[in-house]
Structure formats: structure tokens, C-alpha cells
Amino acid sequence: MSKVIVGISGGVDSSVAAILLQKQGYEVEGLFMRNWDSSINNDILGNPNLNNNICPQEQDYNDAVEVCKKLNIPLHRIDFVKEYWDYVFEYFLSELKKGRTPNPDIMCNKYIKFDYFAKEAKRLGADYIATGHYAKMEDGYLKKAKDSNKDQTYFLCQLSHEQLENVLFPLGDIDKSEVRRIAEEYDLITAHKKDSTGICFIGERHFKEFLTNYLPNQKGDVIDIDTNKKVGEHIGLMYYTIGQRKGLDIGGNKDRLFVVGKNLDKNVLYVSFKEDNEYLISTSCIVEDINFNCDLRPNKCNAKFRYRAEEYPVELEYLEDGNILVKYDGVKAVTPGQACVFYLDDKCIGGGLIKEVRKNNEKLWYLL
């Protein structure tokens, strides 16, 4: 009987992943990862949903214990606090300092869940590892999940072929409602638990207050890019992302403003009052830190520029420095620091990080 170590997070998805693997006849064990220490990092007051002063991750562990008791499977626990800080959180802070919009979930998958976790699972005798991601592995390819609304291949774009070789994704062929139904059937404590949001493994925080523990606020001018006039003051460039319109509250224009750019040297945030302003539209971008998880290297494919966005047809030009020039007809709010993920039909073949955004072959001066 093959042995599978499942990443049990204390959420409903990983709980049901364990159930499905049991039904398929695997020997199943759970492994809970503790990757953040609020007491060491002195940020516990930055969490808006504390319950009786129990750290959310400790509550997740308690839920994981209850799930594994119910399923009668062993639960192991390991700390990757230092590794998470070194490979994920420092990257997160570094990108914010550059004025970019990072995606820590992608780096967490690359370095923690499918690297350190996999090594620990192997030490525990695992033939396979499994997670509660909505994705598939078929014929050696990473493919989209059946539930398109929950598909998480975007967050797996930095995984290598080797990292994906002995991975099982039990939720690939079912949708979220079925996951909830199965959890209810087994009377799991996680059946109606809210899906985790916020920063990977850190969870929900009052984001602005949380970041002040690590990065100083640097207020600066907000400039209307169409008139070059100051219309307010921002509270720090790291708090804004390209295309953002909610939560700005600048100059009393809560609903009309769009973030269209940043100038890190001048500490200026550029905005526009126009609903369909041309500043948010680009026609190409340079993508760095390229990873392909298979042998496919297409010249044409589809690309997704952020998780909750549609796919766009693109042309790929492979540059001598290892980066890729991604060309498209015109896409809104392509953002430095975010992932550009490549798809061929239902296959997610890899991706990289957006380094530079261009329009008509010229770098947009107001974008970092």
C-alpha cells in the first residue's frame, strides 16, 4: 500500500483531500506546518479575528488534530518558521520596498509546501505528498481543476517538473460545494470553516498596521496623471497596487480614482479619474524568473496576469538573458511583481514574474 503524507492545514480542503485518499486505498498520514510565529514577530495585535487570544495558526492546528482524530490518521507537526521567513517573507518585504506587488503564495508553494514539506514527508516514509489545492496532474502535466472558479494552478506556476512528480491533488475533479458536502457527511469540524485569506500562512491582518512592524510608512504626493496636479497624500507606496480603486479615500474621491502608477524615486502615487484611462493598458511585458514545468516551449499560448483575471492570447519571444517578452493586444492593469502564468489549453506549463510593463515597445515611465 502506497503511503501519502497530506498537508493538513486545518481547513476544509485539506481535510477532504485526506478523506478522498483514504477512499482510494492509500495509507494516509497528515503533516501540519507551522510557518509563522506571532509571538516572535510581535504582530499578534495586527490580526482582526483573534479568538480568546489564540493565535489563528494554533487554532488551525487544533482543528487539524480534530480532523485527523475523526479520520483515525496520524498527524505530524513541523516548524518551518525560519525557512518561511528566509524564502517567503523576506521576498515579500523586498518586493514591497521596490514598489512592486508580490505574490507570497507562489513562493510559499515553491520553497515551503513542495520543497521543505516534501523533504520532511520523504523522511516520514511517504511515496507521495498531497495537498488541498484545486489542480490536477495528468500524463505528467499540471492541469486546471474541474472547478474553474477555484482552480489554483496560477499559484503553482513556479514548481519544477521534479517537484510535481510525486504529488497528488485529490480535489482536481470535484468542486467546492462537493468538498463542503463531504466534510458535512463526515461531520468534520472544518466543514463550515471559512476559507483562509490574507498573506500565505500569516492569515488575515489589518494589513497597514501589520506592515508597519517591518516597513516604515513614507507618505508622499498623489498626482493626477492627466493634469500633473497634486490631489492628495498617500500613506506609503507599498499599500497600493496598479488598477486599485477601492480603499483609496484620497481627496474625498472614493469612487472615481484609479491607481495607474508609482514613482519610487520621487515617492509619488499616480492616479486617474477616468474610468477607461489609457494608462492602465499595456501591450507587452518583460517576464523574469522563468520556470517551465514540462518540455513545452510554445511561441503562442494563453497567459494570466493575476489570479482572479481572465486568460489572454499572447506571443512569447525568448530573450538571450533568459527572460521572455510577452506580447498581447492590450491588457488592463498588468502589474510588476505579479506572476504571468502560461497555459496551453488546460495545461499550466509554467510562468514567471512581471519585471517591466510596456506599451508599443516603450517602457511605461510611471510603472516601476
217-272 CATH pick, 2.30.30.280, 3.40.50.620, 3.40.50.1580, 2.60.40.740: 2.30.30.280
Distance CA 305, CA 354 (A): 8
Active site residue 294: no
> What is residue 39's predicted lDDT score, i.e. its pLDDT?
62
Domain residue spans of the chain: 3-185, 217-272, 278-363
Selection from 173, 365, 356 nearest residue 260 by Cα:
365
In angstroms and rounded to an integer, the radius of gyration of the C-alpha atoms of the chain is 22
DSSP per-residue letters across 148-182: TTT--GGGGTT--HHHHTTEE-TTTTS-HHHHHHH
Q: In what order do the strands lie in the sheet with 27-34?
A: 75-79, 27-34, 3-7, 128-130, 167-168
DSSP per-residue letters across 299-353: SEEEEESSTTS--EEEEEEE-TTS-EEEEEEEEE---TTSEEEEEETTEEEEEEE
> What is residue 257's predicted lDDT score, i.e. its pLDDT?
87
> What is residue 275's predicted lDDT score, i.e. its pLDDT?
79
Contact 80, 87 (CB under 8 A): no
**Greatest extent of the chain over all pairs of C-alpha atoms, in Å:** 69
Active site residue 200: yes
Burial label, 59 (beta-carbon count in 10 A; 0-12, 13-18, 19+)? middle
Contact 219, 238 (CB under 8 A): no
Of residues 55, 108, 285, 348, which has the active-site annotation?
108
At the topology level, CATH places domain 278-363 in Elongation Factor Tu (Ef-tu); domain 3 (2.40.30)
Counts for the chain of helices (H) and strands (E), in that order: 10, 18
In sequence order, the 6+-apart residues with CB closer than 8 A to the CB of 49 are: 56, 204
pTM over 0.95: no
Whose grid coordinates read 479520520?
71
Of residues 157, 200, 285, 340, which has the active-site annotation?
200
At the topology level, CATH places domain 3-185 in Rossmann fold (3.40.50)
Whose grid coordinates read 510562468?
351
Selection from 224, 228, 234, 281 nearest residue 256 by Cα:
224
From first to last of its 368 residues, the chain has per-residue pLDDT tens of 899 999 999 999 999 999 999 999 999 999 999 998 766 655 544 444 444 456 667 889 999 999 999 999 999 999 999 999 999 999 999 999 999 999 999 999 999 999 999 999 999 999 999 999 999 999 999 999 999 999 999 999 999 999 999 999 999 999 999 999 999 999 999 999 988 766 665 655 567 778 888 998 899 999 999 999 999 999 999 999 999 988 776 766 556 789 999 999 999 999 998 878 899 999 999 999 999 999 999 999 999 999 989 999 999 999 999 999 999 999 999 999 999 999 999 999 999 999 999 999 999 988 87
Distance CA 5, CA 76 (A): 9
Distance CA 241, CA 262 (A): 9
